[in-house]
A and B are shown apart, each in its own frame.
Chain A
Amino acid sequence: MDQLLQTLNAILNSAISPQTAALAIAAIGLNIHFGYTGLLNLGQAGFMLIGAYGFAISIIGGLPIILAIIIALVAALIFALILGIPTLKLRGDYLAIVTLSAAEIVRMIGRSSILTDITGGSNGLTGNQYRSPFTSLSFFGDGHITVGPWSYDATGSNGWWFIATAWFVVGVLCLFVWAIMRSPWGRVLRGIREDEDAVRSLGKNVYSYKMQALILGGVIGAVAGIVYILPASLQADSMGRSMTYFIFTALLLGGAATVFGPVLGAIVFFAIRLFVQGIAGQFIPSSIMNGQQTEQFAWIIIGITLMLVVIFRPQGILGNKKELSFDVK
């Protein structure tokens, strides 16, 4: 029973943690790519990494936080241009392979020993190297606040200030996505997702729209990177290919091409993991499955969940099957 409560508690904590918010933001960005436009971006973690490095390095270099954020977003914009120019005129698989590769390149460069002075190499950068300008913006005071089942420091890392900001960003982005996707702009994207040639025949510049979508989703990915590292540290390997896969899993769980799908998906993603881990930890004797193995077991379940969702409920929890266009050309 204790363990059950513990599991429940862990799930509740993860549901509002800034890391969950970061995953949700990354999934919102990917939703613009994949859900609405049909762009198969397999390098969303690369955009996160670009944003994270852009932000952290700028802060460490002594720039004000606003400028650091702008640099991070512009870096992601340039990254999107670099990826989009050679691939957006080609078939979808090429974008997939190039984004996947480029994200890996970013990670490899980030963790390379040559750049240790700037990026911290494979050890990365610790949070307190870049966190303080953000912490000092807090108007939450120094105390300890308890809301319902949640109890955190007001401002300290992983505290309410981080949580509130992260979810505020999530909220703003949801509103933004809702606004642009109900607009004629969003309509063009949905048209492209289904049939580029049809949209082209109507005089819309498909290439330009795809590029806009790629940039927008990528820049949101960079925001996710910043949110992700603020309460934690920046390590290149934590934003590798697995991260992209997890973002995809979250997005598809919640429902691609829906406004709240990515958010719900991110929460459910962590909940499933913790739930499986907790249950396995409690009910399966450790002689059969030790602590480490319960964690791996949870990941196996995540992988299988992704398979099952895509096969049996490709529209996810919130999606509408009639509107989902899954195939990318």
Chain B
Amino acid sequence: MSSDMIAPGADDDTTRAGTTTLSHGMTAAGAAAKASVAGVAAVPGVSKPDPILTVDHVIRRFGGMTAVDVGHLEVQRGIITALIGPNGAGKTTFFNLITGFDKPSSAPRLIGGPKAGEAAKSTFNGRDVGNTGATKVAKMGMVRTFQLTKALSKLTVIENMRLGAKDQPGENLFVSVLKPLWVKRELEITAKAEELLARFKLLDKKDDMAGSLSGGQKKLLEMARALMSDPVMIMLDEPMAGVNPALTQSLLGHIQSLRDEGMTVLFVEHDMNMVRHISDWVVVMAEGKVVAEGPASTVMNDPAVIDAYLGAHHNTDLGDDSLLTDEVAEELAAEVQNEALTEGETKA
């Protein structure tokens, strides 16, 4: 009932949405999640009651271009936050910066860095992660997936899953030589992996090479693998990109159930329609900056957001779910691929 207050008309939309409708009742956890941010004003950079992630002054420049310039952003614990924005808004770059895969240009340096108070700073779960590499960030419980799936295609599905687990003593070279020293933990890990695979409907594929999975199955595998380490917060980079509509629905369902189990979810998406039904909070980026944040319905009516999107999809109607035909989804996926390709090239 509280959801109606925050997002009036949301249910109507859901009914109309057809293929993307999530035929679930609002769970208690879902309601609680929405409630936790109910009183928060919908302005960029607003403080949240219980932020798990706080980011300050994160700037990333490539050559002369500023890809990301986020002054302040907080992510509320235990809810689904969607990070949206048109292509090239800097979402993925921002993601990379948070998860330690990239370093802000504004990172504090010994010499010649930015002024005190203007240096990049980020805190995750009460700990400073501003200068932490990707490995440590993941160990702290913030696990991510990638826009272009990084399922390890020449490992089997079950090996992929096992690789996601924590505390396997056999990952130490000296222990690895003697199987008895690690085999017990391996069995536990395998049991857990199979359980997760069953939940993501991949169990019958467990001995297949991950490369033989479809695009959507790879996305699922990547998500399941991320869950192997029991993360506190899971970061999904375009989980729906390149996934066929049937699977999209199940993916969205999985994302919600993660939240319902108490995880914080932050996911990147460039199409608002994909996110409106499941996100408790939406952050909109355009040209590297956070231009709006708030509940989905509020954000969608924000002129800044419409502006940002009109720049990219000037001939599309934002609120129309019929946009989500296969054709459009494919087109979007292709765009995403292109974007990733371009980014990949500049990196390579």
Contacts and interface: CB of A to CB of B under 8 A. Distances in A.
- Complex A–B touching at CB under 8 A: yes
Interface residues of B, number: 42
Given A180-B173, A180-B177, A200-B101, A187 B155 contact: yes
B170 interface: yes
B157 interface: no
Contacts of B155: 187, 190-191, 194
B144 interface: yes
Nearest to A190: B155
A179 B176 contact: yes
A204 B135 contact: yes
Given A179-B177, A184-B170, A185-B176, A191 B163 contact: yes
Contacts of B135: 200, 203-206
B256 interface: no
Contacts of B226: 201-202
Interface stretch (B145-153, B195-203, B286-294): B145-153
B197 to A, nearest CB: 16
B251 to A, nearest CB: 18
**Residue in B145, B168, B228, B348 with the greatest tally of chain A CB atoms within 10 Å:** B168
Interface string B102-144: 0000000000000000000000000000000111101100011
Interface string B162-188: 111010101111011111001000100
B265 to A, nearest CB: 16
**Residue in B134, B139, B151, B159 with the greatest tally of chain A CB atoms within 10 Å:** B134
B163 A183 contact: no
Nearest to B160: A191
Nearest to A89: B133
B170 A198 contact: no
**Chain A residues touching B, range:** 20 to 34
Contacts of A186: 176
Interface in A180-226: 180, 182-188, 190-191, 194-195, 197-206, 212, 216
A185 B163 contact: no
A231 B242 CA distance: 60
Interface string A34-75: 000000000000000000000000000000000000000000
Contacts of A194: 152-155
Given A185-B172, A322-B209, A323-B154, A203 B163 contact: no
B162 A201 contact: no
14 contacts: A182-B179, A183-B170, A183-B182, A184-B162, A191-B163, A197-B101, A199-B163, A200-B135, A202-B228, A203-B135, A203-B143, A206-B135, A323-B154, A325-B154
Given A183-B177, A199-B163, 11 more contacts: A185-B175, A185-B176, A187-B159, A191-B155, A195-B150, A197-B101, A200-B135, A201-B99, A201-B146, A202-B226, A202-B228
Interface of B: 99, 101, 133-136, 138-139, 143-146, 150-155, 159, 162-164, 166, 168, 170-173, 175-179, 182, 186, 209, 211, 225-226, 228-229, 348
